[in-house]
Amino acid sequence: MNGTRRVEPWVKRLWLSTWPLWALLAFASLAAVRLLPKGDAAASLAAAILLIVPGSLTLGAVFNPRRRPRGLVFVCYAALLSAVLSAFSSLVLYACGVLITAESTYWCLLALLTVLVITAEARLLLARPTKGRRAAHKLEALNSYHSDAGTDDETSAASRNSGYYSIVAAVAGVSLLAGGLYAYDRLPHPAPTGYTWMAWTGPAAQGDIAIGSSGTELSFQIVHHQSDNTTFKLSAWWLGTPSRSLAKSVTLSVGTNQTYQGTLFVPQLPNGCTYRIVVSLTAARQIDPLTKKRQVWSINADVHDLAKSSRTCR
């Protein structure tokens, strides 16, 4: 105990007179934190540094140590100012034409904080009219949020108690949020609704699809994200009045979460006309809830033979 008593004032004095430097060091260590294995611990540490240090140093630079807000007011201002400084640093980078990246933000904030540390340290040096334990104690005790009784031991104790209570409250609050979220996550939730889709694959055409002299294969995909097996009829059409079949229909039974790759061979076209082809997928039993008819999916495309002049189209 005696040893602790001997060390305590010394540590306290050192802390009170050099805390901006330690805070800057903590911020600088963000570079090292980034090297840690990614995870909740590293993220929490980095977040705590980023959301407390810049604001604390701002308060240290702006306020005379005797007038500086303390306790929860200090924490709230420090956190808000930290967020604000992050935003301002992005603005500075943008104005300077520097890309906003993790590195540039870090160096910009570090430069800004260095200026703030110099100011804060200067304030600490200038605001030291007396020496020794009493002076150090005054710095600790003056607290605009808990300053009602001045700078005596009782206030300091009240301030400390308030800090402890608030820390307990914050821990309880965070635990409740985390616990609530965990419990909610573990409860049974309704299964996400399934779906089926079909789409063209292969190179994306800008306009009509060119059909070569030996015909062309057009590929497409069918994705079935449903919890049950479904039977479909796949067919292809020449769209028109009337529409006519382009290929023999295929019946397929698609299982849960299955993907099918399909191809449609379009033969050489007889002339330079543009034709519209349609590939459609019709569910054997599934009823469209909107139309109350059998559910149909379709995709279409315009095709023509590039080698033939549109003048041959009559």
Partner 1 sequence: MTATPYQRQLDSISDREPSVSYSRVTHRSRDAHHSRPAPNMSVYLLAAAFVACELAGVAAMIRAYQIAQTTVSSTSEFAWFWIGMLLVELPLAGLIGRRATSRNIRIALITFYGFVSYLPKLLRNPASPIYHDEYAHWLATDEILTTGKLFQPNTIIPIISRYPGLHAATAALVHATGLTIWSAATLLLILFHVTLVLGIAALAQALGFDNRTASLIAILYALNSSFLYFDTQYAYESMAITLLVWTLVAYIRAIRSQPGEGQVAWSVLTVVLSAAAVITHHLSTITLVLIMALVALAMSLPWLARGEGWGRAAGLAWGLTLSTALVAGAWFHFVAPTTLSYLSPYLGEGLSELMQAAEGSGGARQLFGASLSPWWEQKAAYAVTVFALFLAVAGLLVIRAWIRDGRLPQGCRRALLSAFAVLGLLYFPSTVFILSPAGAEGARRSWAFTWIGLSMLVGPAAVWLLDWTRRSMYRWRRVSFRSGLVIALAVALVGGTAAGLNASYRFPGSFLYGSDTRSITPELLAASEWFSARFGTNNNIVTDRYTGLIFGSFGLQNIASPSAGFPVYNMYLAKPGAPIEPAFLFYDLSSSHYTYLIVDARMAYDTPELGVYFTPNDPTSVQPRGTKSPFYGRLNKFNTVQWAVKVFQSDNYSIYRFIQLTMPISYQQQPPTSRGKPGKVLQGKLTVTP
- Total number of residues that touch partner 1 (CB under 8 A): 137
β-pair partners for 244: 238
Element (DSSP H or E) covering residue 309: none
Q: What is the DSSP letter of 259?
A: E
Q: Which of residues 177-216 bind partner 1 (CB under 8 A)?
A: 177, 179-181, 183-185, 187-190, 192-201, 204, 207-208, 215
In this complex, which beta carbon is closest to partner 1, that of residue 113 or of residue 222? 222
Give yes or no for residue 110 binding partner 1 (CB under 8 A): no
Does position 258 bind partner 1 by CB under 8 A?
A: yes
Stretch that binds partner 1, among 1-9, 113-121, 125-133, 242-250 (CB under 8 A): 242-250
CA pseudo-torsion sign 201, 207, 208, 212:
negative
Q: Is 83 in the site for partner 1 (CB under 8 A)?
A: yes
107 binds partner 1 (CB under 8 A): no
Q: How far apart are CA 9 and CA 54, in angstroms?
A: 27
Stretch that binds partner 1, among 9-17, 111-119, 131-139, 239-247 (CB under 8 A): 239-247
- 173 lies in the binding site for partner 1 (CB under 8 A): yes
**Toward partner 1, which CB reaches closer, 87 or 125?**
87
* Cα 232 to Cα 103: distance, rounded to the nearest angstrom: 54
- Per rule CB under 8 A, is residue 250 in the interface with partner 1? yes
With CA atoms as reference, report the closest residue to 27 among 72, 85, 87.
Answer: 85
Q: Name the burial class of residue 63, with classes exposed (0-12), middle (13-18) and buried (19+) by CB atoms within 10 angstroms of its CB.
A: middle
In 3D space, the residue among 297, 261, 266 whose CA is nearest the CA of residue 279 turns out to be 297
User: Site residues for partner 1, window 118-147 (CB under 8 A)?
Assistant: 142, 144-145, 147
> Residue 17 interacts with partner 1 (CB under 8 A)?
no
Q: Which one among 11, 80, 122, 287 touches partner 1, defined by CB under 8 A? A: 80
Selected from 23, 24, 113, 279, the binder of partner 1 by CB under 8 A is 279
Would you say 140 and 124 are in contact if contact means Cβ atoms under 8 Å apart? no
Residues 22-41 close enough to bind partner 1 by CB under 8 A: 30, 34, 38
Q: Which stretch binds partner 1 (CB under 8 A): 2-10, 14-22, 114-122, 300-308?
A: 300-308
Please name which of 63, 122, 114 lies closest in space to residue 89, comparing C-alpha atoms: 114
Please give the C-alpha separations between residue 36 and each of 32, 43, 51, 105, 108, in angstroms, as whole numbers: 7, 9, 19, 19, 22
Q: Which is nearer to partner 1, 14 or 199 (CB)?
A: 199
* Residue selected from 130, 132, 148, 214 as contacting partner 1 according to rule CB under 8 A: 148
Asked whether the bond before 242 is cis by omega within 30 degrees of 0, the reply is yes
Tell me: does residue 157 bind partner 1 (CB under 8 A). yes
